Amino acid sequence: PLTAEAPELLVQICGLKPGIAYDLMVVAVTGPQLWQIDHLSPTGFQQGKGGKLKLEADQACDWVKISISEKAFKSPVPLYLSYRGQQDDLQGDQKLLSPIVTDDTAPVDSLIQNSFIGGDCFEVFNIVSQGESTSIGSFFNGATSIGFDEGIILASGDIDIATGPNDQANASSGNLSGAGGDPDLNALANFDIFDVTIVEFDFVPTVDTIQFEYVFASEEYCEWVGSIFNDVFGFFISGPGISGPFSNGAINIAQVPGIGDPVAVNNINHQINTQYYVGNIPPGSSQLFDPDCAGHPTTTGPSVDDCQYDGFTTALTATAAVIPCSTYHIKLAIADVGDGSFDAAVFLKANSFNAGASAVAQAVGTPDSINVIAEGCSEGYFEFTRTTPDTTEALEVTFTVLPASTATPVDDYVPLPTSITIPAGQMSVQLPVEVVDDLIAEGTESILLALDVPCLCSDPVIEMFIEDRPTVEVLLDDMIICSTDTIALAPAPSGGIGEYSYLWSTGDTTAVLLFAPTAGGLDTLSVIVTDACGNMASDTA
């Protein structure tokens, strides 16, 4: 890695192709992840965001600046700088360069709420953990090995074991926390377990199926396949409609696809269920001479350089059927089996735990940006917005206009569809509400819209109100003054929508008219006040 000896570091990157776009990321091996990366382009400064930068190369060698505030910089820090071209034909050192990087400094509740959870659209609470603080954290740069760029990691030892290259046959942190620790893992392993790490929480889904993506990795591969040293983990979910053999009637949803066996070293490896196994042992390793490793593939390339674990599963998906708006409990747990050596880990893909809606909605009226539309005057729309920043695919949002609405389709507004699509590349989309100007006094009417999959079970109905065409009134008081005086006439308008405009009988258009009366005579002045919708009122003084 690079070493930042000061709050600012200049780095030259070579081997780039001019005109090609690259994704760059800087990650601190230790300390706060507050580093900024910027492109010092010959054509101008290009600022990154949150340790990441999209750079379009100007030349074969380009300069970037890596920096942190002087207040946050405490001492020299090792950094990993990675870059990856956005075209598939890039080779060699143009691929992602740094290994998996882990960070155990974030609180567990932050890891779950801000990294694991997809969006912020269902309730999550009672987040607790068990195990060493160094066995739970976040990871970055996993795309070239485990297939997930970032997420959270739970390990039966220190999570920094994950960082490549794979230069140890049986890496272990020596972080032993003793046997026992969890009855559900004990039941799965049917043997003594060690180094238990657990994260668990309650949640209230708003959908009928929850899911998330994960990868299981272990240093027991490949020489301990078939032995009692069968590192184990489980995702135990309990709640309404679920009845299983584990605590509180939980079931384990970390299962071999299509089979139902728990995911473990002995159930996915180079001998069984091989389609779900990825070997990560480099050529020449002493492990390959073990009889239990017969037929194990050798691995070269990025994954061996980037990840220490000797083997891992392909990306798997855990799913469970749930009842919307009911409370469920999930426990994510991992442990060594048989001894406390040779660590294992489970990688949970960032933002993949999905138990809620993918979009939210709001009613917006213009010009005042409130949820009110005036007939024949203002406009309005329902706005649908994604709950996560991922815009790679189009998103269909379905909804229902509730029978409790008092506005009538056709008579009061053009009927709405039952779904709308947020296009790829967009965070939101607007559905205009076209109101019929029927010139009938009906009072305030409502359009009540509800998403078929709400963001929260406590979400209110989205309300849009339709009001009759607003009237404008104006009062201009009579006044008696001396002929030598000048008076300021200020009409008092009310009602209508938006700002008022004025037209005096003198031709003036100001809100206040300065007027000098005729000596000994009677003067009559009038004013017409118009609102933003063209509604008018007049008065005379």
Under DSSP, the state recorded for 122 is S
Residues 397-440: pLDDT tens digits?
Answer: 999 999 999 999 999 999 999 999 999 989 999 999 999 887 78
Based on its alpha-carbon atoms, the radius of gyration of the chain, rounded to whole angstroms, reads 33
pLDDT at 64 over 60: yes
Per-residue pLDDT averaged across 335-357, rounded?
Answer: 84
Residue 541 predicted with pLDDT over 70: yes
- Statement: residue 62 has pLDDT above 70: yes
pLDDT of residue 252: 97
Average pLDDT over residues 22-32: 66
Can you give the pLDDT at residue 341?
Answer: 66
Greater confidence (179 vs 251) lies with 251
How many residues does this entry show for the chain? 541
Closest CA to 229 of 219, 243, 242, 240: 219
pLDDT tens digits, one per residue of 87-146: 434 343 333 446 888 888 888 988 998 889 866 678 899 999 998 889 999 998 898 899
When comparing pLDDT for 541 and 46, which is higher? 541
Q: Which phi and psi (to 5°) does residue 288 adopt? A: -70, -15
Q: What is the mean pLDDT of residues 43-55?
A: 68
Query: Token pair of 185, please?
Result: 């893992």
User: In the predicted model, what is the mean pLDDT of residues 465-493?
Assistant: 84
**Are 137 and 27 within 8 A, CB to CB?**
no
Q: Which domains are delineated in the chain?
A: 2-94 (2.60.120), 101-349 (no CATH), 359-467 (2.60.40.2030), 472-540 (2.60.40)
Residue 532: closest CA among 420, 350, 379: 379
**Integer Cα distance of 118 and 379 in angstroms:** 34
For the cut 90, the answer to whether the pLDDT of residue 45 exceeds it is no
Q: What is the mean pLDDT of residues 322-341?
A: 87
The DSSP H or E segment spanning 306 is helix 302-306
503-534 as b/e, with b when 16 or more CB fall inside 10 Å?
Answer: ebeeebeeeebebebeeeeeeebebbbbbbbe
- 158-204 pLDDT, tens digit per residue, is 998 898 887 776 666 655 554 457 899 988 887 778 889 999 999 99
Q: Which of 159-168, 324-333, 347-356 shows the lowest mean pLDDT across its residues? A: 159-168
User: Omega before 297 cis (within 30°)?
Assistant: no
pLDDT at 288: 82
Q: How confident is the model at residue 472 (pLDDT cuts 50, 70, 90)?
A: confident
Q: Which amino acid, one-letter code, is at 263?
A: V
State the pTM of this model: 0.68
CA-nearest of 464, 461, 471 to 447 is: 464
Residue 172 vs residue 253, higher pLDDT: 253
Count, in order, helices (H) and strands (E) of the chain: 3, 36
Tell which wins on pLDDT, 102 or 69: 102
CA angle 436, 440, 444 (to 5 degrees): 75
Contact (CB, 8 A) for 531 and 378: no
Tokens, residue 223:
């020489």
Q: Across the chain, what does the average pLDDT equal?
A: 84
286/78: higher pLDDT:
286
Residue corresponding to tokens 């010009």: 367
Residue with tokens 């294992």: 344
Q: Is 93 helix (H, G, I), strand (E, B) or coil?
A: helix
Quote the percentage of the chain above a pLDDT of 70.
86
* Alpha carbon distance 100, 303 (integer Å): 9
**Residue of higher predicted confidence among 315 and 176:** 315
pLDDT at 514: 87
Residue in the structure block whose two tokens are 């039941």 = 187
pLDDT digit string (tens) for 357-389? 788 888 988 766 678 888 878 789 999 998 877
Contacts of 177 (CB under 8 A, 6+ apart): 131, 132, 194, 195, 196, 340
- Break the chain down into helix, strand, coil percent, rounded to 5: 10, 40, 50
Side chain identity, residue 103 = D
Max Cα distance, the chain (Å): 121
> In this predicted structure, what is the pLDDT of residue 346?
97
Per-residue confidence (pLDDT) for residue 323, from 0 to 100: 95
pLDDT at 534: 82
> What is residue 89's predicted lDDT score, i.e. its pLDDT?
40
Would you state the pLDDT for residue 326? Answer: 94
- Tell me the C-alpha distance between 195 and 190, whole Å: 16
Q: Regarding predicted confidence, which is higher, 90 or 396? A: 396
- In this prediction, residue 92 carries a pLDDT of 38
Pairing mode, strands 123-130 and 193-204: antiparallel
DSSP string for 138-200 = EEE--TTTTS-SEEEEEESS-GGGGBS----SS--------B---HHHHHHHSS-EEEEEEEE
